[in-house]
Amino acid sequence: MSPRLRAWLFLPPALAVAALMLYGMAGLRPFGFYPGPYGDVLDAVATAQRHVLNVATAVNFDYRGFDTLVEEFIFFTAIAGIAVLFRAQVGDARVTDEADVDREIPAESDGIGWMCYGFVPLTFAFACYMAVHAQLTPGGGFQGGAIAGSAFALAYMGLHYSTYRKFAPQKAVDAVEAAGAGAYAVIGIATMIASGIFLANVLPLGEKGSIVSAGTIPVINLCVFVEIAAGFIVCLEFFFKQTRRIEEEES
Amino acid sequence: MPATLLPLAVAAPLLLAAALAPLSPIAPRRLADACATLCALFVALLCGALAVETLHVPVHYWFGGWTPSHGVALGIEFAVDPIGAGLAAFVALLVALAFAFSWWYFDSAGTHFHVLMLIFLAAMAGFALTGDLFNLFVFFELMSVAAFALTGYKIEEEESIEGAINFAITNSLGAFLVLIGIGLLYGRTGALNLAQIGAGVAHARPDGLLVAAFVLLLTGFFVKGAVVPFHFWLDDAHAVAPTPLCVLFSGVMVQLALYAVARIFWEIFAAPFSSHEAPIRLLLVVMGTITALTGGIMAFNQHHIKRMLAFSTISHSGLFICAIATFSALGIAAGAVFVAAHGLLKAALFMGSGVLLQRTGSVDAVKLHGRCTHLTPLALLFVIGGFALAGLPPFGIAAGKTMLETAVRDAGLAWLAIVFAVASALDGAAVLRVAGSVFFGLGHMSDDRRSSTAGNEKKETSESRNDTLPTMILTAYAALVLCLAAGTVPQFAGWAERAGAIFLHGARAPFVPTLALHDALLNLAVALGAGLLALAALYLPRYKIFSAPAAALRALHSGAFPDYALWMIAGVAVYGAFLVPIAAFAARGNP
Amino acid sequence: MTLYLPYALVVWLFLVGVFGIVRSRNLIHAVLCLAVVQSSTYVFLIAIGFKRNAGAPIFSADVPVGTPAVDPVVHALTLTDIVVATVVTALILTMAIQVYRITGTLDPEKLRPMSG
């Protein structure tokens, strides 16, 4: 079927589906009038029950912590899937030489390099800051992990590949990523052993507003941060590797 | 005891997967195989124990200890009923069989295969056990991602990756449909717990929101459930995925999506739609019939063995939907027995095709015509399997079909029995015709070179390990024997009937239909009919009147995902057209 | 009526994304259209949980518990979804790269695993 024909055939059912969805959404409350009990109840009780200031974090890592465990494993599975799909095959020699590269490789710039040396640790520190303050500010392991990943992407872009590799050795990062994912499951089982219930919040709740508060929430949060950051590094690494020339990989 | 260990059904495979992943280069292969198989068996036993325990009292496990307060569910729960626990146990059993089959598989990629399969197991088990709608969605996503990665496993073959891409794009769109449906329900009830949502809408008038939410959830899950017109990805994925994965796809993944539809319908939508069941039943019956016949006709026309088996699975999806459409406990029970029997039989047939691929390097029946007359165990497997698929008693499929025929008769849909007979005959004949051609050199297979690839697949293990074949064939026969057990062990049918009643919230347990002689004769007749159909396909010339519409149907299965996306949206529109009248009538009744 | 515009936006994004996939001639383009469809679900979730004149669900000494706040649940759902969707997109892009390496094309019309 040609794309043009397909596009024309698409319009009538698309209009029907749009009508269906709008008909459904017309049954919702208007924008800005959230009715339901779930969010209101949690807003009211979370701070008292768990000594958190950021209720969304409490939802993520305590009330609905099991969801987050599974979401974290979706992340882990996708990275594992990328590893499987990009795995080296027997006889997979990539023959390249200068003539094959059709773009001019720009000369490396010292200025950019020095800026990276400055910004990369700064960004990474900001990522850690975001992650550690999960229950206090709109931060968390997921957000911090994504920022950490971008810090490493910045390192790749500004620095020489071999320098970048020193920041993140392959095997260590793989192990760290798996450890982060596994640790969440281990915490769940540990709490099950401690209290009989999976992912119960068994650690002392501490004082509202301090970094060490809310029991297991910061612990789980740090595991997630580690896993997401390591996961992004591994993922980016696979993509960056696709463009390297063989000789440079050896170094 | 099993209730307290319930989270381990999901956490144990996940933990093992996370542990195996970094050990990929150094872990000894045997150790990984053994650990993974043991883990799967553990989950099977745990969930099996639960399936029996929940016949007496349902199990509600609240994660984090967040039991509901004042009627508001704060946390996530696993609401285990017998059907859910049974499905989880069945998943684990099939995964264990798949691991046993692949004992020496995939030498190249370390433990990645095990990691992804274990995560797949955990996701499917959690999917069957959960009682929270968003948790269901999250497990659905986990299941999908693991499946995408595993489908494209054979990265040196372009068809594998293309099949994986089609799978990924269509199923992601399905997931988004589901998420919008979930959002609509959340916006109405402010809850994500299935029981709480059900309580929130039980006395509501079925308005546009409920109908739209139902359509979106139904169609989104029907993508995974391979129902027409959302089924196109399944044959692409099965044809290229590694054999252990096909075992799981056809055996249980597709059926889990249909289970989710049934679960959501009875927990949430059955009460508000209670006086408007007719359009829903009509939709399910029509789509079930179309799916069953499309699958059967396409299977009958395939000569790529795995693709043919995939179309047979699509055909059975249609039959399972008809089971749901009876809206009765007996229908659900029939569905449970049928799903178990079909899953095991398909597993056996897929494993057989895996052995065939290993022995000969191809799964194309045209290429293999007459070349495998010496492979007697495989020949026996395919012949018995083909007849069993058509409903030969006393295999489990016959038992499931008999229960289903009783259920449709009770529901006033007796004509569906004809559809069942035709679809089963086509499915069985498809397998038998391939068996006849490949293993006995009978007749001739029509060589329609325009379609499908020439089965240019590489063998799935790197060396031609003749020592692996006995374990592979034994596993295949084990699955076949289990299918026979499903049909003959009366406790299984008894369990299914009680489970079906509990699924429909305490309906009276249905009358136990003993396998009457005329039912057995009917099934035998259909099985023989399948045999005759197969012989006809092999020996008679192809008549234009049959081949032209079949060719048109085959042209629809184009292999390009933009077409699939088009059919998906068209399908949502059609399903919506069937069901929107519910809201219109309800609005007219009570303005 | 204008109060339902965000929902109309959701429907528009969803269908435009699917339209892009249906008309797609390039796999990378199709993957990005999938991301558009996904973003429509995020907009939907967040729109459902919004409350007028309510702040973020973060309380402190200055914003005591009891101050109107929006629904934290949808925010929690969306933020994990976004991060996870990124890597799933990466997974599909990986498939695109591998298929390009073998076949040299990214056109869905030519990338058919099987037909008929």
Residue partners of B544: CB distance under 8 A and separation at least 6: none
Domain extent at residue C31: 2-103
Locate B444 and state its tokens: 């001739």
Cα-flanking dihedrals φ and ψ of residue B132, to 5°? -120, 135
The domain total for chain A is 1
Locate B387 and state its tokens: 């007849």
Distance (Å, rounded) from C-alpha A164 to C-alpha A249?
12
Radius of gyration of chain C (CA): 20
For A41, nearest residue in chain C (alpha carbons): C71
* C61 in any annotated domain: yes
Do B184 and A28 make contact, defined as CB atoms within 8 angstroms? yes
Chain A touching partners, 3 or more CB pairs below 8 A: B, C
Mean pLDDT value of segment B363-385: 85
Q: How many CA atoms lie within 13 A of A47 on its CB side?
A: 22
Which position has the token pair 């495979």? B13
Chain A contact for B581 (CB, 8 A cutoff): no
The DSSP secondary-structure symbol of A213 reads B
Residue A39: its chain B contacts at CB < 8 A? 190
* A102 in any annotated domain: no
Do C34 and B173 make contact, defined as CB atoms within 8 angstroms? yes
* C55 in any annotated domain: yes
Residue partners of B390: CB distance under 8 A and separation at least 6: B424, B425, B427, B428, B429, B432, B526, B527, B529, B530, B531
* A195 in any annotated domain: yes
Do C7 and A25 make contact, defined as CB atoms within 8 angstroms? yes
CA distance C40 to chain A (A): 12
Rounded to 5°, angle at Cα A244 from A238 and A249? 90
pLDDT in tens, B259-300: 999 999 999 998 899 888 889 999 999 999 999 999 999 998
Locate B567 and state its tokens: 């059919």
Domain extent at residue A181: 31-86+108-250
Chain A contact for B448 (CB, 8 A cutoff): no
Would you state the pLDDT for residue B427?
92
Query: CA separation (Å) from A132 to A127, A139, A168, C59?
Result: 9, 8, 21, 17
Contact B73, B200 (CB under 8 A): no
Would you state the pLDDT for residue B454?
44
User: How would residue A244 be classed by pLDDT, with cut points 50, 70 and 90?
Assistant: low
ipTM metric:
0.95
User: How would residue B119 be classed by pLDDT, with cut points 50, 70 and 90?
Assistant: very high
Would you state the pLDDT for residue A156?
83
Residue partners of B204: CB distance under 8 A and separation at least 6: B210, B272
Of the residues A31, A137, A225, the best mutation for testing chain C's interface (the one with the most C CB atoms within 10 Å of its CB) is A31
Cα-flanking dihedrals φ and ψ of residue A33, to 5°? -125, 55
* C59 in any annotated domain: yes
Chain C contact for A186 (CB, 8 A cutoff): no
* A22 in any annotated domain: no
* C108 in any annotated domain: no
Contact B474, B379 (CB under 8 A): no
CA distance C13 to chain B (A): 12
Mean pLDDT value of segment A98-126: 78
Question: CB-based burial of residue C66 (10 Å sphere; 0-12 exposed, 13-18 middle, 19+ buried)?
Answer: exposed
For A78, nearest residue in chain B (alpha carbons): B145
Mean pLDDT value of segment B533-556: 77
Do B188 and A62 make contact, defined as CB atoms within 8 angstroms? no
Distance (Å, rounded) from C-alpha A225 to C-alpha B162?
34
Q: Which residue has the higher pLDDT, A43 or A162?
A: A43
Domain ranges of chain B: 1-131, 276-445+473-557
Residue C22: its chain A contacts at CB < 8 A? 6-7, 10
Distance (Å, rounded) from C-alpha B264 to C-alpha B280?
14
The number of helices, as runs of H, and strands, as runs of E, in chain C is 3, 0
The packing angle between helices B396-410 and B416-440, to 10°, is 160
Tell me the CA end-to-end span of chain A in Å, nearest whole number. Answer: 50
Q: pTM to 2 decimals? A: 0.93
Do C114 and B559 make contact, defined as CB atoms within 8 angstroms? yes
pLDDT in tens, B42-79: 999 999 999 988 888 888 989 888 888 877 888 899 99
Query: CA separation (Å) from B331 to B41, B228, B337, B400, B501?
Result: 29, 21, 10, 10, 10
Q: Which of B89, B411, B48 is nearest to B251 (CA)?
A: B89
Q: Which of B12, B113, B2 is nearest to B48 (CA)?
A: B2
CATH code for the domain of C64: 1.10.287
Write out residues 165-184 of A within 8 Å (CB-CB) of C: none
What is the percent of chain B with per-residue pLDDT over 90, rounded to a whole number?
45
* List of E strands, B76-197: 77-80
Residue A29: its chain B contacts at CB < 8 A? 187
Mean pLDDT value of segment B546-552: 77
How many beta-carbon pairs under 8 angstroms link A with B? 220
The domain total for chain C is 1
The number of helices, as runs of H, and strands, as runs of E, in chain A is 10, 0
Residue C61: its chain A contacts at CB < 8 A? 209
Do C91 and B149 make contact, defined as CB atoms within 8 angstroms? yes
